[in-house]
Amino acid sequence: MTAIRLGHLYPAQMSMYGDRGNILTLQQRASWRGLPLTVVPLGLGASAGAEVETCHGFFFGGGQDRDQAALAEDLRTHKGAPLRAAVAAGAPLLAVCGGYQLLGSHYATADGAIVPGLDLLPLWTQAGHRRLVGNVVVTPDPELGLGITRLVGFENHSGRTHLGPACRPLGRTVVGEGNNGEDGGEGVWAGTVVGTYLHGPVLPRNPALADWWLRAACRRAGWPDQLAPLDDGWELSAQAEGAERAGRERGPAGREREGGLRSLVRRAQRR
């Protein structure tokens, strides 16, 4: 049988805050199960567009506004149609932060530029003035079938993402700001597409999400999608530590401390 081909979208431009750890996690979790997995870098240009058709699943990481703007045209022209066809046929696509924003219709940057997205899902993003930064705990939508009650990660974005009515968030934020800091939603999912603001990177500390990706990719590549269970002791203790840190920094006590610090700074500035 053929190796699972993981298409890594724009690894040179879109790889922030350790996002490559997601690729390493998928490689390692496949290899522990004896599943061959090949990473296919999908960079700028038409030839990479043709390679999209040969892939069984995709990862699209985060990036800065200027990198998102620099590749937006290439994404729509060379990758859009084959990516749309691949996900319609069940290929998993995990997109983080800047990649997540580019799944939607557009990203309106703080300086007024409009970066057009893939228009794969009905969502859009508007940059805000305050960055949303910190550890996040999310309760995933049970309908996605991850079989878990917690995802953890680290968000760092200025974009506020708004989902159209037909879109479901990946989950609800327990701690953190999520999509826009207002409606309690974090990320998005539809079929085999998941978008999220969770860096960290997200997959090492959320093995259920990594295995969700691998199961869908196995189905596309013709492998059985029953994955042998792994000992996730280390992964889950890292996850628990992230959740604990999120609560300490951004839960009620953390917010109080932060508020206190802010008023101290204001008082010092007035002097």
Give, in degrees to the nearest 5, the angle at Cα 217 between 154 and 143: 60
String marking each residue 144-173 x if it binds ligand GLN according to CB under 6 A: ------------xxxx--------------
Cis preceding linkage at 201, omega within 30 = yes
Query: Both tokens of residue 49?
Result: 């567009």
Indicate left, alpha or beta for 112 from its phi (over 0: left) and psi (-120 to 50: alpha): left
16 near ligand GLN, judged by CB under 6 A: yes
Q: Which of 11, 49, 62, 195 is the binder for ligand GLN (CB under 6 A)?
A: 62
**Cβ closer to ligand GLN: 25 or 109?**
109
One-character DSSP codes across 8-30: EE-TTTS--TTTHHHHHHHHHHH
One-character DSSP codes across 130-199: EEEEEEEEEEE-GGG----S-EEEEEEEEEEEEE-TT-B-SEEEEES-TTTSSS-EE-EEETTEEEE--B
97 near ligand GLN, judged by CB under 6 A: yes
Name which of 212, 204, 236 is nearest 24 in CA terms.
204
218 near ligand GLN, judged by CB under 6 A: no
Q: Catalytic residue among 97, 106, 167, 218, which? A: 97
Residue closest to ligand GLN (Cβ): 62
Enclosing H/E stretch for 75 = none
Respond yes or no: is residue 97 known to be catalytic.
Answer: yes
Q: How far is the CB of 127 from ligand GLN (least distance, A)?
A: 6
**Cβ closer to ligand GLN: 28 or 158?**
158
102 near ligand GLN, judged by CB under 6 A: no
Q: Which of 21, 57, 63, 200 is the binder for ligand GLN (CB under 6 A)?
A: 63
**Cβ closer to ligand GLN: 5 or 250?**
250
Binding part of the chain for ligand GLN, among 29-37, 60-68, 212-220, 242-250 by CB under 6 A, reads: 60-68
> What is the set of active-site residues?
97, 199
